[in-house]
Amino acid sequence: MLNRVAMTAPSPLRSAAARPLTGETRVPGDKSISHRSLMLAAVAVGTTTIDGLLEGEDVLNTAHAVTAMGAAARRLDGGRWEVDGVGVGALAEPADVLDLGNSGTGARLLSGLIAGHPITAVLTGDASLRRRPMNRIVAPLTQIGARIETRSGGRLPMTIVGARDPAPVVYRLPVPSAQVKSAVLLAALNAPGATTVIEPEPTRDHSELMLRHFGAEVTVVDRADGRAITLVGQPELKARAVRVPGDPSSAAFFAVAALLVPGSRLTLTEVGINPLRTGLYATLKEMGADIRFLNQRVEAGEPVADIAINHSPLVGVEVPATRAPSMIDEYPILAVAAAFAKGPTVMRGLAELRVKESDRLTAIADGLVAQGVAVGMEEDSLIVQGGGGPCAGGGTVATYMDHRIAMAFLVLGMAARAAVTVDDGAMIATSFPGFVEIANRLGAAISPAAP
Ligand code: S3P
């Protein structure tokens, strides 16, 4: 019923000089919103319809997981999805291990959902996900009443024995992480009374917006010590229609490609522009980019626009650490833009990049050096020395099972003096199925490379 994308053997790709990127395209649905729509639909009463769901490997794994817990998720003709929700507190124990593949969001948010149910589940993932830290969710979920055993170092696989009587908590995030915030809120759905999460820096608020969309009571208060998000537990969530906007993190690759390739004029339609996600676009504008948000509107609670991009010369800038949460997934592609800008671009506050799908700080720096770009790295800062024009290219990039590293360097190859090879493009399917085909249709020249 569900069509799982098969992960293939490493498939190296080569990206050569592109023609100008022109025309209009829609990028696939937002990954964060897609995961959340399946999970909230699973604990709503009735059948939720989802339009525009991202059908990438990460999200399909979440669809399998909620189905394994009794909330049937199915794809209808035309790409619409339906989920038969079971109601808050009524998820069933999965009969087998839940494999979340490459997805930190899938693993951490589902852990929250499971922790608030009296069921036991074992979670695992691929080699990349099994290296990523889970203690950041173990701490609050244990406070709520779950028992969790991880592999050493807080790694997957892990067993969650969900709380029989989940307790409401007040939890202050030690790291700015929407995944941790969301895990706590999802666990608290089945706790009586109010649960509050305090985040010192605002992170993406898709969970809060979607919880409200499904009928939960969520209040947000900006206080001196941060933003306090309070959820009233045990709501009756009702099935709703969800429309998933295009993913601004996926659009970012084509936006930067159009900025770098001379003569490009591109429109990306129906992209989410939630202000907690658009730090990259603000930064690119500061660098001199001609980027405009057209036809701004709100769809199913999320702000959306068509994004028009024209090729632009860029200058280096300093990106403050406070902006990191609003563009945390965009540093690989920003670093590529910075390599073509005039002068240095300084990016600060990047500690979290070390625990993404790969150690992105190292992967970005090594990848740029391989293309002849000068890079400085200090603890949690990255400095890219832009040459004010095309960089050399010609190198091979190690992607470390990281979709965004692969796509960022394929974009670099579109505008560099010599073609760029990435060692594996297979992981692109986790977040952006069709990336290569769409890029080539717009003007890129990406092809399989010899292994
Ligand atoms: C996400 C939050 C971010 C982001 C990830 C998606 C989410 O992770 O990097 O791709 O959907 O909540 P952190 O919360 O770990 O920063």
Interval 193-220 mean pLDDT: 97
Q: How far is the CA of 179 from the centre of ligand 1 (A)?
A: 5
pTM of the model: 0.97
* Cα(339)–Cα(323) distance, integer angstroms: 20
Q: How far is the CA of 205 from the centre of ligand 1 (A)?
A: 11
Contact in structure between 211 and 40 (CB atoms under 8 Å): yes
Is 186 near ligand 1, meaning CB less than 6 Å away? no
Query: Tell me: the pLDDT tens digits for 13-51?
Result: 999 999 999 999 999 999 999 999 999 999 999 999 999
Contact 389, 415 (CB under 8 A): no
Q: Which of 329, 402, 423, 424 is catalytic?
A: 329
Confidence check: pLDDT of 310 > 90: yes
**Residue 329 annotated as catalytic:** yes
**How many Å apart are CA 347 and CA 317, to the nearest integer?**
9
pLDDT band at 301 (very low <50, low <70, confident <90, very high): confident
Q: Is the peptide bond between 200 and the residue preceding it cis, with omega within 30 degrees of 0?
A: no
Indicate if ligand 1 lies below 6 Å from the C-beta of 328: yes
Tell me: pLDDT of 333 over 80.
yes
- What mean pLDDT do residues 152-168 have? 98
Question: What is the DSSP code string of 221-279?
Answer: EEETTEEEEEEESS---B--EEEPPBPHHHHHHHHHHHHHSTT-EEEEEEEE--TTT-H
Residue-level pLDDT at 1:
35
| Bridging pattern class, strands 22-26 and 265-272 | parallel
Query: Binning pLDDT at 50, 70 and 90, where does residue 8 land?
Result: low
Q: Is the dihedral of CA 10, 336, 310, 390 positive or negative?
A: negative
Q: How far apart are CA 299 and CA 271, in angstroms?
A: 11
**Which whole number is the average pLDDT over 298-319?**
96
Atom 9 (ligand 1) nearest CA: 329
250 lines ligand 1 (CB under 6 A): no
The percent of residues above 90 in pLDDT, for the chain, comes to 96
Phi, psi of 378 (to 5 degrees): -125, 125
Mean pLDDT in residue range 177-204: 98
Instruction: Look at residue 180 and tell me whether its pLDDT is greater than 60.
Output: yes
Q: Whose CA is nearest to atom 10 of ligand 1?
A: 329
Ligand 1 atom at minimal distance to the Cα of residue 328: 9
